[in-house]
A and B are shown apart, each in its own frame.
Chain A
């Protein structure tokens, strides 16, 4: 592959992702409205799609205020970390055969590493704000994300054992006969739950729980710095959806009548809609309930899943 092709792939992926991130503003509000039996944004443009433009412009032109009591540089860096780490994770995702920025041998581990770097944005944002609510949000966010990272990593190990590789294209190719969600249903469910907790989306949005913590770790943020947290969250949803589609639902694989990337984006979009449906339908658990659920239910389950998968693989090998 030539250098120019690489550059085009990188630019294309970046362009598509940022547009999806922005477009999800409209998708989420429209879909929430649909499920809650209202209309949602419907004034600007056809079906209100120009709300994306209005929202983005508003974010750009709002006063970008750094509180005098905040730790200035850490406060500025924090929102950049979340977007950067999520965008870095997309590097390893194969969108279609041949369309992948870098097909690393340690692809899956790279994704886990980047999602663990993402924790910093919450922790630092909450701490640098020098605000009690923000600090509480940061504490919750840090413990929630560190805990659920463990289950996320372990839930993928069954797939890795069956493929024998951490490379995402190998994992997709291994699903030619059967998608992995049939062989690894527990892995899928735990990965998705951990993914919701990692992106701190409703119902697991307790780091920002607006009814208790105002807005949690980003309470002091305004303007485009808040916008970065916002877009980082949407990109995070897209990332978890894309990973679920790649690892458990065959990525670009599908019947021949549509090209690979169409299948990939269809699957990804279905999971994004599922994320939004969860927001529309589930209440938020209490903080201690979330942690207890993780350590007392998910951890034994995921360990059993790894053990049983290994045992079955050894048994089949003879």
Chain B
């Protein structure tokens, strides 16, 4: 089991590095999918098959597909890749890497201090997950439901097609211009 864990961790880290360094957005997203699959594998090796499968269904299978969908429609070509190349000069990396290095050394120190007991793997059944979700964490679950509902309502509102009953020969601009004219007329009358 530790072998599985470490292999998938290394893949996850490598894939994530590739996500950051790719110039082409779709290639970066593909590496992100690999990274999510590796994280799912990590969950599986830690005895959480349910979380692992959800990771694949939701993150790899739905969210990234939607991201790729959006990027696809934006039709980012080689221009964006060259732009990215210009932005990602080597000196851009210095600041973040230094900060991350400090964090890494902190983590290493903490790990060295802790007791080096073996990883305890206890498989968690789906039933246990659902029981704890609907008993102890019911409020968190309901709140997440509210949040998602709000998100859906917001999306539906933004995406709502505003219907204007225009004749097909009547352009919107013409209508606006006419409205303005009417307003001007009204103002002059009021004055």
Q: Which residues of A contact B (CB under 8 A)?
A: 71, 74, 104-106, 109-110, 112-113, 116-117, 119-120, 123-124, 126-127, 135, 138-139, 142-143, 146, 149, 153, 164, 166
Query: B126–A166 contact, CB under 8 A?
Result: yes
Query: How near does chain A come to B88, taking the closest CB pair, in angstroms?
Result: 20
Contact between chains at A120 and B33 (CB < 8 Å): yes
Instruction: From A112, A126, A135, A164, give the contact of B57 (CB < 8 A).
Output: A112
A-B contacts, 9 of them at CB < 8 A, read A106-B52, A109-B53, A109-B54, A112-B53, A112-B57, A119-B61, A120-B33, A123-B65, A143-B69
Interface residues of B in 122-149 (CB under 8 A from A): 125-127
Supposing A120-B33, A123-B69 touch, asked if A105 and B56 sit within 8 A by C-beta, the answer is no
Contact A138/B49 with A116-B57, A119-B65, A120-B65 known, Cβ cut-off 8 Å? no
> B49 near A106 (CB under 8 angstroms)?
yes
| CA–CA, A117 and B73, complex, Å | 20
Q: Are A113 and B53 in contact (CB under 8 A)?
A: yes
Instruction: Decide yes or no whether B4 CB sits under 8 A from chain A.
Output: no
Asked if residues A116 and B53 are in contact (CB atoms below 8 Å), the reply is no
Give A49 Cβ to nearest chain B Cβ, in Å: 38
Taking Cβ atoms with an 8 Å cutoff, the residues of B that contact A are 26-27, 30, 33, 49-50, 52-54, 56-57, 60-62, 65-66, 68-69, 72-73, 125-127
A106→B53 contact, CB < 8 A: yes
Contacts of B57 in A (CB 8 A): 109, 112-113, 116, 153
Given contact pairs A105-B126, A109-B50, A127-B26, A149 touches B62 in the complex (Cβ within 8 A): yes
Per a CB cutoff under 8 Å, which of B33, B52, B72, B127 touches A139?
A: B72
Q: Chain A contacts of B126 at CB under 8 A?
A: 105-106, 166
In contact, B50 and A142 (Cβ under 8 angstroms):
no
* Selected contact of A106 from candidates B30, B50, B66, CB within 8 Å: B50
